[in-house]
Structure 1
Amino acid sequence: MRDPVIWWVRKDLRLSDNPALAAALDAGGPVIPVFVLDEVFESYGAAPLWRFGLGVEEFAKSLDAAGSRLICRRGSAAAVLLDVAAETGARTVRWGRAYDAPQVARDKAVKVALQKAGIDGASIAGGVLFEPWSVQTKAGAHFQVFSPFWRAVERIDVETTMPRPGRLPAPATWATSEDVTGWGLSRPMRRGASVVVRHVTIGEDAARDRLASFAEKRMDDYGERRDYPAEAATSRISEHLAWGEISPATCWRAAVRPAREGSQGANSFLKELAWREFAYHLAWHTPWILERNWREGWDRFPWSMDDGTTEVRAWRQGRTGVRLVDAAMRELYVTGYMHNRARMIVASFLTKHLVTHWRVGQRWFEDCLVDWDPASNAMGWQWTAGCGPDAAPYFRIFNPDAQQKKFDGDGAYVRRWIAEGEANPSANALSYFDAIPESWALSPTDAYPEPVVNLAEGRARALAAYRSRSF
């Protein structure tokens, strides 16, 4: 029998269309799937770390059904992989390539450690549709604007790499594994976990079912209806993409044929997938986008970095007195998700009406989103704040009241998430008070707050700050 091959499982919790798994199988030996909860993953916020853990548990069940098992350990990735190799005799390690700076640095260190030990370690493309260096301008540079990036990729054929294998070849000897449930990954969620869990779907099968349902029932109307937060008009596959429970190639192929046959909804869906690709394109070529202003001149903009102000606390708690903003922030706390239109509105409100640095909002999203993605999250915040590549100009300031009239005219979304003042508040609105920390001391019988800022005055303040900028 050939030596076993370690498949280092990371944010690719699937058996279908998984190039890293395909590479491990191609090596010809038994496959040992290994998941390592290392310092990079441990640094994730409460909701994404918890959701990642649920995905790992579900994926372990899929491997069991395929005659395999998932070896789970906590610690340094390099040390764990070397230990498992020593215990099993594995001389080959394969894993899915990452593109954000913390994972890239970790992976480089792992590759060096494996090479020193005489072990063949290699990363395999599969987490994105287009490798960041494979898409270039005519001048051979990376793209900084989405529209030409989209034109460069929209006609590229994307192929899936492999169907879901029925069985995985198992080694004669398995390494020992730790119990994921004993890692306490839900602890930072506190009592919120029991509420948010009602709104998440977990695993590869759920991801593929969700995509199939979207393609059959909602894709054609996606372009027209996706901006209405009260409607179930979007795919809701973002959490599955974030943890690799479905591949971007699978999603792309579900829409590319109807798009080329003239479906505007399918074409809009492909564009949203391309925005994710653009985010990783930028994260690779300009890695500072993840944690500081992409445009250096904005370092001198008079944003507040204070995340403890009364206004910022109200923003986090969904108590700003601006109903659409508050509804969105409560949706986030109850479900771990927020509609994309709402994400832009709350980000604009924080960075412009409250003149608060986008990093303050980015960190809160990182703590609360079950679909948190480092590249997309950073690009989204910088786009709205005005300091990122291809960004909305700073003077484009969303008026939440106008946005509500346009996209939630009947108030269905607001009523779904705000209980105060309602004679018969919805179950979702009431569940917010079960999810939040008791220390917030909030009740559905509280009076709804007055606005923390007059929208016209907040807009004027933001524009004054922009006009007085020193860049």
Structure 2
Amino acid sequence: MTQPPVIVWFRRDLRLSDHAALAAAVATGGPVIPVFIHDETVEALGAAPKWRLGEGVRCFAAALEAAGSRLILRRGPALEVLRALVAETGAAAVHWQRVYDRDGIARDRAVKAALTEAGIAARSFPGATLFEPWEVQTGAGGPYRVFTPFWRAIRGRAVAAPLAAPAYLSGPANWPIGDRLDDWAMGASMNRGAAIVARHAVIGEAAARERLGRFLEERLDMYSEGRDLPALNATSGLSENLAWGEISPRQIWHAALRDWQAGRLGAEKFLSELAWRDFAWHLIYHAPDLDRANWRADWDAFPWRGDNADAERWRRGMTGEPFVDAAMREMYVTGRMHNRARMIAASYLTKHLLTDWRVGLNWFATCLTDWDPASNAMGWQWVAGSGPDAAPFFRIFNPATQAAKFDADGAYRRCWIAEGQGAPPMTALSYFRAVPRGSGMAATENYPEPTVILSEGRARALAALGSFGKARGG
């Protein structure tokens, strides 16, 4: 008697190697039916993340074809789609890799309960993080709230070895019919920006592993110092591939662990930054509203401004602060933003402009191809001062002094700001080719005057903090 098929439901885990759900399906000896579902969580994605996910799905489908399999595409509520596929294929089990955000958990619990009740084996597996969010606990048995002790708790722990890709994927005798990816138009909201951003995307599992190898070989030694210099290509760039599961954190950890054990410069710092990603998922699992509500509830009374005209200038990269504007334009052109630049841009919005961090979070969720709900939320609340392990509110990044320190020769600003340059580089010009045609923005216009004098913005922020502190008895 032949084994019944197993459906493997792929989401933000578009790879064949180190995929426990896929490996377990192969181990049954039966046919494996890979599936991707355009459900409500996909529909809710911002423009750039949705486009990038679509391109990742396209690349993954090609990888499955090369392995003798195929990726079935369906659109609709996940439970309805899976029930239909089970009925069509006679599948006895559905496997998937776990997620840890509130909406994803709610969806998966409902799917698991319904399938189990129907007699279908619904199994979820780890693989999105180094450790499951509940596996790392304080001495008191609770979650960590500060990164440094979290890092001390995991830096010496054994991380499970990554799994090899299956040598062979058997398929069913009759494949179910799937949708055409192009019919989903996942890049529609990007308009003409998609072609610009596409030049900077590195898509797929093979490309991600090659990217990791090049980084470890060529740039790891300068990572500790160079990672703060946005004009220097000193980082791995892997956030894009991690966001869509084209490489696993365990694969990265074990590749860099050998360098750490060999004493290479930069290796420990690189691994600690990978652990920051785990910390973000640890936080959002234990505080499910981290991406929508102040982690410190008393910050609900802080006098944030809602969306406003100044915030729109910030979104457009037209604040008149070159370091901030360079960061915003880099994101619009490439789909990514250097981490140092993210801190400066976020601090400027939340402190100099006193604008609610959620305004910024939502724009990043629209524009980032490496959008990660946990890291995005943690980063914004850290800078704003409302989150766990947060930068104190009185720590206000001054864009001018930050530029003098981390972009001393102006290379980063020249790379992204065209105005005032006789022969702007293509990177800077690309911004004006990516923005909507009706924006009225052009590289030949004068660079804008500052939205706010930095010293005045800082004073206003500190005054707001002082009034807030008095109001809460601080």
Please indicate the TM-score interval, normalised by the length of the shorter structure: over 0.9
Q: 2: CA distance between counterparts of 1:169 and 1:120? A: 19
Name the SS for the 2:240 alignment partner: helix
* Mapped pair 1:387 → 2:348: no
| Secondary structure at the counterpart of residue 7 of structure 1 | strand
1:181 Cα deviation (Å)? 1.0
Tell me the equivalent position of 1:225. 226
Give the TM-score normalised by structure 1.
0.98
Question: What is the Cα deviation at residue 156 of structure 1?
Answer: 1.2
Partner of 1:407: 406
Alignment-mate amino acid for residue 333 of structure 1 = Y
Task: Give, as a single letter, the amino acid of the residue that structure 1 aligns with 2:91.
Answer: A
Report the 3-state secondary structure (helix = DSSP H, G, I; strand = E; otherwise coil) of the residue aligned with 2:221: coil
Query: Are residues 1:345 and 2:336 paired?
Result: no
- Alpha-carbon contact 1:13-1:204 (below 8 Å) kept: yes
Give the aligned partner of residue 150 of structure 1.
151
Residue in structure 2 matched with residue 51 of structure 1 by the alignment: 52
Q: Deviations over 1:400-453 (max 9, x none)?
A: 000101010000000000001101100010110110012211011100000000
- Name the residue aligned to 1:368: 367
The percent identity for this pair of structures is 58
Count of paired positions? 469
2:40 aligned residue = 39
Letter in 2 for 1:446: E
Q: Could you tell me which residue of structure 1 aligns to residue 245 of structure 2?
A: 244
Alignment of 1:435-454 (within 5 A): 435-454=434-453
Determine the C-alpha separation between the residues in 2 that align with 1:375 and 1:23.
Answer: 27
- For residues 7-406 of structure 1, what are the structure 2 equivalents within 5 Å? 7-305=8-306, 307=307, 309-406=308-405
- Report the Cα offset of residue 23 of structure 1: 1.6
Report the CA distance between 1:163 and its aligned residue: 1.1
Q: Distance in 2 between matches of 1:264 and 1:459?
A: 37
Which whole-Å CA distance do the structure 2 matches of 1:468 and 1:161 have between them? Answer: 52
CA–CA separation in structure 2 for the residues paired with 1:199 and 1:267: 28
C-alpha deviation, 1:318, in angstroms = 0.4
TM-score (norm 2): 0.98
Does the Cα contact within 8 Å between 2:23 and 2:166 map onto a contact in 1? no
| TM-fit CA distance, 1:259 | 1.6
> Matched residues in 2 for 1:395 and 1:304: separation?
18
Q: What secondary structure does 2:160 align onto?
A: coil
Contact 2:3 2:28 in 1 (8 A): no
Counterpart CA distance in 2 for 1:130 and 1:440 is: 45
Structure 1 distance, partners of 2:131, 2:311, is 38
Distance of 1:461 and 1:369 partners within structure 2: 30
Partners of 2:28 and 2:110 in 1: CA distance = 23
Contact 1:19–1:161 (Cα < 8 Å) also in 2: no
Deviation at 1:166, TM superposition (A): 3.1
Distance 1:36 1:27 in 2: 23
The SS at the match of 2:228 is: coil
Q: Distance in 2 between matches of 1:2 and 1:63?
A: 21
Displacement of 1:98 in angstroms is 0.5
The CA distance in 2 between the partners of 1:257 and 1:151, in whole Å, is 19
Alpha-carbon shift at residue 261 of structure 1 (Å) = 3.2
Q: Deviations over 1:216-263 (max 9, x none)?
A: 011121001100000110000101000000000001111112223333
- For 1:385 and 1:402, the matched residues in 2 are separated by 19
Q: Which runs of 5+ in 1 are unaligned?
A: none
Q: State the secondary structure of the residue aligned to 2:326.
A: helix
CA distance in 2, matches of 1:25, 1:161: 16
Q: Report how far residue 19 of structure 1 moved.
A: 1.1
Q: Which moved more, 1:108-117 or 1:186-195?
A: 108-117
> How many angstroms apart in 2 are the aligned matches of 1:155 and 1:103?
30
Structure 2 residue runs without a partner (length 5+): none
Cα distance in 2 between the residues matched to 1:42 and 1:81: 17
